[in-house]
């Protein structure tokens, strides 16, 4: 079975057009990565016809970079992808601060496409809001 048969093929996100003017499409692993990123970047309630779709990562925007926050983000990523991206099995999820950018957490997701034995990873950026101190 080729990637397009199992993973599918669909419009690229964000919407784009090709050089000849047709709507750009994606398939295979790149389409899966876009689908996973879409789940993680959508907050439940944003889609009127799928109100439960998404992940509650935005709830952690003000929580800072602590082990407790990393663990909570890990749980949210796993739960959201288990529900909304059934084509993958999520392995490790590692959350860590970006080395040279304050207020950026990197979420490193190791996954396997179901029915394959090929480990892949997606690093998803998650921006936090800096603490502005007491006024």
**The pairing of beta strand 88-97 with beta strand 104-113:** antiparallel
Tokens 């998650």 — which residue?
126
Q: Is residue 135 part of a domain?
A: no
Q: Is residue 87 part of a domain?
A: yes
Q: Is residue 132 part of a domain?
A: no
Q: pLDDT digits over 26-80, tens only? A: 777 788 899 999 999 999 999 999 999 999 999 999 988 889 999 999 999 999 9
Q: Is the overall model pTM greater than 0.85, yes or no?
A: no
Q: Is residue 133 part of a domain?
A: no
Q: Is residue 134 part of a domain?
A: no
Q: Give me the number of domains the chain comprises.
A: 1
Q: Which residues contact 106 (CB under 8 A, 6 or more apart)?
A: 95, 96, 97, 98, 123, 124, 125, 126
Q: pLDDT digits over 113-132, tens only? A: 988 888 999 999 999 887 66
Q: pLDDT digits over 96-109, tens only? A: 999 988 889 999 99
**CA distances to 6, 23, 55, 66 from 97, in Å:** 34, 36, 20, 9
Give the three-class secondary structure for 108. Answer: strand
Domain that holds residue 94: 3-127
Q: Is residue 10 part of a domain?
A: yes
Q: Is the pLDDT of residue 13 over 80?
A: no
- Output the domain CATH number for residue 34: 3.10.450.40
């Amino acid at each position: 079975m080729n990637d397009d048969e199992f993973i599918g093929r669909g419009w690229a996100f964000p919407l784009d057009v090709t050089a000849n003017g047709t709507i750009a499409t994606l398939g295979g692993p790149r389409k899966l990565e876009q689908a996973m990123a879409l789940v993680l970047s959508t907050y439940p309630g944003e889609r009127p016809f799928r109100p439960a779709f998404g992940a509650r990562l935005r709830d952690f925007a003000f929580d800072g970079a602590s082990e407790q926050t990393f663990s909570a983000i890990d749980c949210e990523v796993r739960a959201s992808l288990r529900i909304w991206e059934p084509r993958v099995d999520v392995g490790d999820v590692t959350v860590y601060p970006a080395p040279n950018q304050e207020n950026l957490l990197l979420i490193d997701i190791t996954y396997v496409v179901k029915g394959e034995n090929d480990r892949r990873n997606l690093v998803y950026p998650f921006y936090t809001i800096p603490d502005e101190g007491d006024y």
